[in-house]
Amino acid sequence: MEKVLIIGASGHGKVVAEAIELNEEYSIHGFIDSFKPVGEKVLDYEILGTEDLISQLYDQGITRGVIAIGDNWTRFSLVEKIKRLVPDFEFITVIHPSAIISKTVTIGKGSVILASATLNAEAKVGEFCILNTGVNFGHESKINDYSSLAPGVTVGGNVIIDTFSAICLGANIIHSIHIGMHSIVGAGALVNKDVENFRLAYGVPAKEIKEISVGEKYLSGKWKKQKVSL
Ligand SMILES: CC(C)(COP(=O)(O)OP(=O)(O)OC[C@H]1O[C@@H](n2cnc3c(N)ncnc32)[C@H](O)[C@@H]1OP(=O)(O)O)[C@@H](O)C(=O)NCCC(=O)NCCS
């Protein structure tokens, strides 16, 4: 099996690692992480170094990997950095074997679809998206590059979620809604009206709470105060 790197050794990195193991398509060479000490074990794999090591590993034949970073803007920044450092490095798509995916669905490179996600007819997933555990993604809906659906999110049919938007834990979005770019839909929200670009919205029904800026953090509460591992 071809060896791959997992870039990001947080909890999300562990979940991605287990999905890769179950697929038996790639073997995991190790983790790349900007904060954790080299040599530390994460599951059965070592932290090999920071992203600056990828070029050396590429020369040794490790030419592919996946970014396992939950925060959308951080994931984007790291992809851009790796593209500059190692232009030919390839990003794999990881799909947990328990995901139920219509044959008419398209999924872009670098995206991660986790356990029990269901993707219905003609849904489209852009590049470097995360569809987390138990997501239900409706027919003909579209999620653009670098956006994410947290565990338990339900998206009705014909919904559009634009780039860099995060739909948080357990939110529900009814059919035909448009979520603008760089927006955040808070945990547990019920979205029954379009959400503009650069907005935080939450509640049942969801209301736009405030304007937000590029890269605003949404892994909130105690996570805000912690140094989140890349
Ligand atoms: C949207 C979100 C980022 C808002 O967090 P925040 O801006 O830090 O909000 P705060 O914690 O400062 O709360 C401010 C107020 O809004 C309320 N609030 C925050 N999020 C809310 C939500 N999703 N629904 C309803 N009320 C919410 C708080 O209870 C608080 O009310 P109070 O002032 O009456 O006490 C957060 O709710 C969220 O969804 N985080 C992401 C969780 C997630 O999906 N994790 C993924 C794990 S894989």
| Domains, the chain, ordered by start | 2-91 (3.40.50.20), 94-212 (2.160.10.10)
How many helical (H) and strand (E) elements, i.e. helices and strands, does the chain have? 4, 25
Q: What is the pTM of this model?
A: 0.95
> Which band of pLDDT confidence, cut at 50, 70 and 90, is reported for residue 194?
very high
Determine the average pLDDT of the residues in 45-62: 98
pLDDT digits (tens, 9 = 90+) for 63-76: 999 999 999 999 99
Q: Determine the distance separating the centroid of ligand 1 and the alpha carbon of 226, expressed in angstroms.
A: 16
Catalytic residue among 29, 96, 139, 182: 139
Q: Determine the distance separating the centroid of ligand 1 and the alpha carbon of 218, expressed in angstroms.
A: 8
Please work out whether the CB of residue 180 comes within 6 Å of at least one atom of ligand 1. no
Half-sphere exposure of 83 (CA within 13 A, CB side): 8
Q: 182 an active-site residue?
A: no
Please report the pLDDT score of residue 190 as a whole number: 98
Could you give the percent of the chain with pLDDT greater than 70?
95
> How far apart are alpha carbons 29 and 46 in whole angstroms?
8
Determine the average pLDDT of the residues in 26-32: 98
- Please give the residue that has the higher pLDDT: either 24 or 176: 176
Please work out whether the CB of residue 220 comes within 6 Å of at least one atom of ligand 1. yes
Q: Ligand 1: which atom is nearest the Cα of residue 184?
A: 1
Q: Determine the distance separating the centroid of ligand 1 and the alpha carbon of 27, expressed in angstroms.
A: 38
Please work out whether the CB of residue 219 comes within 6 Å of at least one atom of ligand 1. yes
Average pLDDT, the chain: 95
Please report the pLDDT score of residue 229 as a whole number: 44
Please report the pLDDT score of residue 220 as a whole number: 59
Q: Determine the distance separating the centroid of ligand 1 and the alpha carbon of 66, expressed in angstroms.
A: 29
**190, amino acid identity:** L
> How far apart are alpha carbons 86 and 80 in whole angstroms?
10
Which protein residue's CA is at the shortest distance from atom 36 of ligand 1?
186
Please work out whether the CB of residue 151 comes within 6 Å of at least one atom of ligand 1. yes
pLDDT digits (tens, 9 = 90+) for 99-145: 999 999 999 999 999 999 999 999 999 999 999 999 999 999 999 99
> Which band of pLDDT confidence, cut at 50, 70 and 90, is reported for residue 218?
confident
Please work out whether the CB of residue 195 comes within 6 Å of at least one atom of ligand 1. no
Please report the pLDDT score of residue 230 as a whole number: 40
> Which band of pLDDT confidence, cut at 50, 70 and 90, is reported for residue 186?
very high
Could you give the percent of the chain with pLDDT greater than 90?
93
Please report the pLDDT score of residue 45 as a whole number: 98
